[in-house]
Structure 1
Amino acid sequence: MKVAVYKGFWDMLPLNLAVLPWGILCGSLAVQNGFTPLEAQLMSLLVFAGSAQLVAIELIAKDTALITLLITTFIISARHLLYGLAIRNKMVDKPLKWRSSIAFFLTDELFAFSHHHRAYQGKLRLLYALVAGGSFYVAWNLWTLIGIIAGQFLPDLTNLGLDFAIAAIFIALVIPSITTVPILCACICSAISILIFKLVHFEFGLIASALLGMTVGYLLQSYKERT
């Protein structure tokens, strides 16, 4: 059991450190857009979804309608539904306390640890996932707190390019998972299409490029399995 706890913590540590600029940006952006320190910290404690938090902060600061805020953050976080479906067969027979805990901690980073065929199988592997996800949660809230403090005393931190951490983390998570031609083609399709959508200023370009990439990957995988 101690080995599972130790390994879960140390395996997630690089990602805990990598998300530091992102968490600082989230905390500082919140206080600089009118959130109280308590409200900014509670967002990380309760929402715990970096990209959705950043977008929500911007929308709330602009007095966006509640329905727009809810729909936008739902779309951004919809990938977590896919994460849940991907590990459903591994978790469906587990007690509620394990399923609810893993569900709360199931970020992009923890999902990257879920590809092993024996992931979540047995109490030790569940404990490993819980420690890994829990340590990321603690780190995210710690970095948010630092951002809240820094945002009150330092100039606009958004000018420091901290948002690049978001792209860097996702690149680091995606590259190791590119193990087949269909996955590679799906990534290339999404990358090219989002650039095109950006150039033509298509408002829903991110969503469309993700759907195109998934469609291409699915079709190629289906063709591969038939041949």
Structure 2
Amino acid sequence: MPSTDTPSKVGPDTRAPRIQPFSRGAVAALPLCVAVVPWGLLTGSLAIESGLSPVQGQAMSLLVFAGAAQLVGMGLIKAGAGLGSILLTTFFISSRHLLYSMIYRQHLARQPKRWRLALGFLLTDELFALTSQPAPGAGGFNRWYAFGVGFTFYLVWNITTFFGLIAGRMIPDLNTLGLDFAIAATFIAIVVPMVKNLAVLATVATAAVLAVLCEVQQIEGGIIIAALGAMTVGFLTTGKTS
């Protein structure tokens, strides 16, 4: 008698629409991850110097996941600042994410809540830079591509923080080795590819010149002055140049 077992039908691989864009996102993030490595090491070592335990230092990277805010926050902790000062300062440092979220809204408004929460948590300068434009080959915003970018940064950030925590206990004054240049290198790598017209070039140049002048003249609030000046120049030149 012929066997009654019939081979199961093999449908299309439903994983492909997820794995392929996720992998492209992870690969796209790798070049910027190189610059993030020394930044993460510095963050881990500063956590030890500021008096945090290794568990607290790692938890900060796991839960906060914001390089600049973490560095400033740990500096304030080391200086003995109060909780209110720490929260207010880190709020202003991270306020640029409000602008990112306004742009991201068009992509995430119709996404399920779990995706809005996940990508909102993973939103960084690097993720915004790599996903504010359509994903390569996707024809538009792809949430799996964005998740691949964001999760890769999250993973690298926490791994390097872990090794920074170890190095902070073994190598004294790790912050004197110039690892903080990685912060500038990361933002240079993010900004340069986005300079595609004269208006953006004018904005970037204004921010750079004002930031340097304020630093040389030791003017307090130089970052805010540079940011406001650059935004003003960008607003005045947008639409008038191509």
Superposition TM-score tier, normalisation by shorter sequence:
over 0.9
How far apart are the structure 2 equivalents of 1:87 and 1:156? 39
The counterpart of 1:78, out of the listed 95, 116, 121, is 95
- In structure 1, give the amino acid aligned to 2:208: A
- In structure 2, give the amino acid aligned to 1:15: L
- 8 A Cα contact 2:207 2:229, kept in partner: yes
How far apart are the structure 1 equivalents of 2:132 and 2:52? 38
CA RMSD of aligned residues (A): 1.9
Identity across matched positions, percent: 43
- Residue 83 of structure 2 is aligned to residue 63 of structure 1: no
- 8 A Cα contact 1:87 1:114, kept in partner: no
- 8 A Cα contact 1:4 1:124, kept in partner: no
Shift of the 165–221 alpha-carbon distance from structure 1 to 2, 3 Å rule, reads same
Instruction: With the length of structure 1 as denominator, give the TM-score of the two structures.
Output: 0.93
How far apart are the structure 2 equivalents of 1:5 and 1:89? 20
Q: Deviations over 1:51-72 (max 9, x none)?
A: 1100100101111122221221
Q: Deviations over 1:69-99 (max 9, x none)?
A: 1221111111111111122112112111111
- 8 A Cα contact 1:106 1:133, kept in partner: yes
Structure 1 residue 118: deviation in Å? 6.2
Paired residues, what number? 224
- Residue 129 of structure 2 is aligned to residue 112 of structure 1: yes
- 8 A Cα contact 1:20 1:143, kept in partner: yes
- Residue 236 of structure 2 is aligned to residue 219 of structure 1: yes
Q: Deviations over 1:159-214 (max 9, x none)?
A: 11000000001001000000111110011111111122112222111011111101
Structure 1 residue 38: deviation in Å? 0.4
- 8 A Cα contact 2:206 2:233, kept in partner: yes
Structure 1 partner of 2:189: 172
Shift of the 65–124 alpha-carbon distance from structure 1 to 2, 3 Å rule, reads closer
Deviates more, 1:47-56 or 1:79-88: 79-88
Structure 1 residue 222: deviation in Å? 4.2
Shift of the 158–33 alpha-carbon distance from structure 1 to 2, 3 Å rule, reads same
Shift of the 115–196 alpha-carbon distance from structure 1 to 2, 3 Å rule, reads same
Q: Which runs of 4+ in 1 moved over 4 A?
A: 121-124
Kindly name which structure, 1 or 2, has the bigger radius of gyration based on alpha carbons: 2
Q: Deviations over 1:8-57 (max 9, x none)?
A: 21111122232110000000111122110000000000100001100100
How far apart are the structure 2 equivalents of 1:106 and 1:189? 26
Structure 2 partner of 1:27: 44
- Residue 54 of structure 2 is aligned to residue 37 of structure 1: yes
How far apart are the structure 2 equivalents of 1:176 and 1:54? 26
- 8 A Cα contact 2:135 2:141, kept in partner: no
- In structure 2, give the amino acid aligned to 1:186: T
How far apart are the structure 1 equivalents of 2:193 and 2:58? 32
Structure 1 residue 127: deviation in Å? 0.8
How far apart are the structure 2 equivalents of 1:203 and 1:215? 20
- 8 A Cα contact 2:41 2:160, kept in partner: yes
- Residue 215 of structure 2 is aligned to residue 189 of structure 1: no
Structure 2 gaps, min length 5? 1-16
The counterpart of 2:174, out of the listed 148, 157, 180, is 157
- 8 A Cα contact 1:22 1:165, kept in partner: yes
- In structure 2, give the amino acid aligned to 1:104: F
- Residue 104 of structure 2 is aligned to residue 91 of structure 1: no
How far apart are the structure 1 equivalents of 2:105 and 2:221? 29
How far apart are the structure 2 equivalents of 1:19 and 1:117? 23
- In structure 2, give the amino acid aligned to 1:92: A
